[in-house]
């Protein structure tokens, strides 16, 4: 739900802690999720750069790891119509990504997660006997993310607000601030809309058996839609928070790693 979010969060940035000596596991998890999505506070007047946007999505390597397996699967099946070969190709690529990270002693969380997603997609494609089955996990994750985000906004606890609040050291105090609450609720609805839009476009293609267009829209509605919405989200969060709103204690846990959920 998943679906990985200024000079967006550099790894030296740490979210503020509450007055209690230890934050709850939920608070730490939500703050970490917001940090990975790129919602660290920026200095007033600091521009949003292409470099910051790229960093929030895991850098060049993160983008390649997110996009290349799906692209290879699409091309392999389109030109060969061999389902087994088309499935093997992205699995090999996923193994190469994980191996490179291990060899360079880097974190392999994103690569392993991507490899697990490819494996699940491959199994479903083989079980259904259709190349379109490769995209079933994306439908499930988009549906789940979208539903949870929309419900959270409707009940007055928008998850984007909860995550950003803990990241900024605001806890849930933002709920008593009308402007913050409106902005964070709107952001949550917008992200839910992104997932719903993907389903609205891609599900008819799946049921029509239109593999080529399904694969193409899967790629086009991944990072190309995610990135602009992320920029809008940064701007809105920046408008209601300043860097002085959050302390920078040395012992807080979450730091930004990547936005590997961009694709799914």
Position 3 confidence tier, pLDDT thresholds 50, 70, 90: very low
- Residue 99 CA to its chain's centroid (Å): 23
- pLDDT surpasses 60 at 139: yes
Neighbouring CB atoms inside 10 A of 20's CB total: 8
User: What pLDDT is recorded for position 203?
Assistant: 96
* Residue 23's pLDDT band (cuts 50, 70, 90): low
The pLDDT, as a whole number, for residue 235 is 82
Task: State residue 254's pLDDT score.
Answer: 38
Answer whether residue 148 shows pLDDT above 90.
yes
* Mean confidence (pLDDT) of the chain: 78
**CB contact burial 37-58 (16+ within 10 A = b; e otherwise):** bbbbbbeeeeebeeebbebbbb
With a cut of 70, say whether residue 40 has pLDDT above it: no
3-state secondary structure of 115: helix
Please say whether the beta carbons of 163 and 246 come within 8 A. Answer: no
**Angle (deg, nearest 10), helices 159-167 and 178-207:** 130
**What pLDDT shows up at residue 82?**
93
Q: Is the dihedral of CA 70, 74, 75, 76 positive or negative?
A: positive
Residue 33: its pLDDT value, please?
A: 63
- Would you place residue 195 in the very low, low, confident or very high pLDDT band (cuts 50, 70, 90)? very high
Return the pLDDT at 172: 86
- Rounded Cα–Cα distance for residues 210 and 215 (Å): 9
- The answer to whether residues 175 and 152 touch, using CB atoms and an 8 Å cutoff, is no
Exposure of 154 in the CB half-sphere (CA atoms within 13 A): 7
- Percentage, residues of the chain above pLDDT 90: 41
Please check the confidence at residue 249 and state whether its pLDDT lies above 50. no
For residue 171, what pLDDT band results from cuts at 50, 70 and 90? confident
Give the Cα separation of 222 and 166 in Å (integer). Answer: 27
The mean per-residue pLDDT over the stretch 30-58 comes to 60
Q: Residue 249: left (phi > 0), alpha (psi -120 to 50), or beta? A: beta
pLDDT at 143: 96
The pLDDT value given to residue 185: 95
> In the prediction, which pLDDT does 9 show?
42
- pLDDT tens per residue across span 95-123: 988 888 888 877 777 778 888 889 999 99
Q: Are 185 and 158 in contact (CB under 8 A)?
A: yes
Structure confidence at residue 20 (pLDDT): 41
DSSP 10: -
């Amino acid at each position: 739900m998943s679906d990985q979010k200024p000079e967006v969060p550099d790894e030296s940035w740490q979210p503020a802690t509450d007055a209690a000596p230890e934050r709850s596991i939920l608070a730490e998890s939500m703050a970490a999720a917001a940090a990975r999505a790129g919602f660290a506070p920026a200095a007033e007047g600091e521009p949003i750069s292409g470099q910051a946007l790229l960093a929030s999505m895991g850098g060049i390597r993160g983008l390649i790891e997110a996009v290349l397996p799906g692209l290879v699967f699409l091309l392999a099946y389109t030109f060969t119509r061999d389902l087994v070969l088309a499935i093997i190709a992205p699995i090999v690529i996923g193994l190469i990504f994980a191996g490179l990270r291990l060899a360079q002693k880097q974190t392999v969380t994103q690569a392993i997660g991507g490899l697990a997603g490819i494996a699940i997609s491959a199994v479903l494609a083989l079980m259904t006997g259709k190349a379109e089955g490769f995209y079933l996990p994306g439908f499930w994750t988009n549906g789940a993310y979208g539903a949870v985000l929309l419900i959270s906004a409707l009940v007055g606890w928008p998850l984007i607000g909860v995550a950003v609040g803990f990241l900024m050291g605001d806890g849930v105090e933002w709920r008593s601030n009308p402007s913050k609450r409106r902005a964070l609720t709107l952001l949550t609805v917008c992200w839910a809309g992104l997932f719903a839009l993907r389903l609205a476009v891609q599900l008819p293609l799946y049921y029509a058996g239109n593999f080529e267009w399904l694969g193409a829209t899967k790629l086009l509605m991944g990072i190309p839609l995610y990135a602009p919405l992320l920029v809008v989200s940064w701007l809105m969060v920046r408008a209601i928070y300043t860097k002085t709103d959050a302390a920078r204690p040395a012992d807080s846990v979450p730091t930004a790693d990547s936005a590997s959920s961009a694709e799914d």
